[in-house]
Amino acid sequence: EPEVTQTPSHQVTQMGQEVILRCVPISNHLYFYWYRQILGQKVEFLVSFYNNEISEKSEIFDDQFSVERPDGSNFTLKIRSTKLEDSAMYFCASSVEKTSEQFFGPGTRLTVL
Amino acid sequence: AQTVTQSQPEMSVQEAETVTLSCTYDTSENNYYLFWYKQPPSRQMILVIRQEAYKQQNATENRFSVNFQKAAKSFSLKISDSQLGDTAMYFCAFMMANAGGTSYGKLTFGQGTILTVHP
């Protein structure tokens, strides 16, 4: 059964460094999402992406964040200059249509030191 | 803005028994979807069940069913004949269903309920 995959599973970085989190959505899906979950808090929406552009973004998704679908299979989240408060589990998801079931990846745990 | 509240941080149940997880939400929208997602330990979130707000009939998927009370903005999940494999974090989630296209599938999640099924 097709799955969303994410790499790496765990990323440790120094404050101020750039990180790129990678996701491979399910191949026939058209809508892509990033969510994050800070330890002990709710899963929060970051951004949705369709037709090679951002469809919707939350107030968390500021200028330090960007998303890209560089090659038709990968979907990446870049954080330009990480802060301590960016430490969280980041989940990628994809769906066939915007209101259909979202399939989630296993997450990348980002630790900013 | 929509909010989703799960008031039970943890629940436990004996194998083969029935358990109900609570979820309430707040929205001024009339058309929306509600979901229950399950996240087993160290594994990814998977969809358990989905409810369209315009449907009065409660959704059912095998041992999983919901009690959707639109006026009360309540959406509880009932798990019958609980199995050890049901042990997981359960998230309730809300999605707007905007025919005008301004909603792009954003899910708003509750805090989650950790369910432990004991043998």
Output Rg (C-alpha) for chain A, integer angstroms: 13
pLDDT, position B44: 87
Strand A53-57 and strand A5-7: pairing?
unpaired
Q: Do A43 and B44 touch (CB under 8 A)?
A: no
pLDDT, position B2: 86
Q: Summarize pLDDT for A17-41 with one digit per residue, the tens.
A: 999 999 999 999 999 999 999 988 8
A56: domain range? 5-112
**Closest in B97, B104, B112 to A31, CB measured:** B104
Count of domains for chain A: 1
B19: domain range? 3-118
| Rounded mean pLDDT, B67-71 | 96
Instruction: Say which CATH number the domain at B91 has.
Output: 2.60.40.10
What are all long-range contacts of A63-71, with beta carbons under 8 Å and residues at least 24 apart?
A: A67/A32, A67/A34, A69/A32
Q: Summarize pLDDT for B98-118 with one digit per residue, the tens.
A: 755 556 689 999 999 999 999
**Residue A80 pLDDT > 90:** yes
Q: Is B105 on the interface with A (CB under 8 A)?
A: yes
Chain A's closest residue to B50, CA to CA, is: A101
Question: Could you tell me the pLDDT band of residue A92, with boundaries at 50, 70 and 90?
Answer: very high
Q: Is B106 on the interface with A (CB under 8 A)?
A: yes
Chain B's closest residue to A4, CA to CA, is: B44
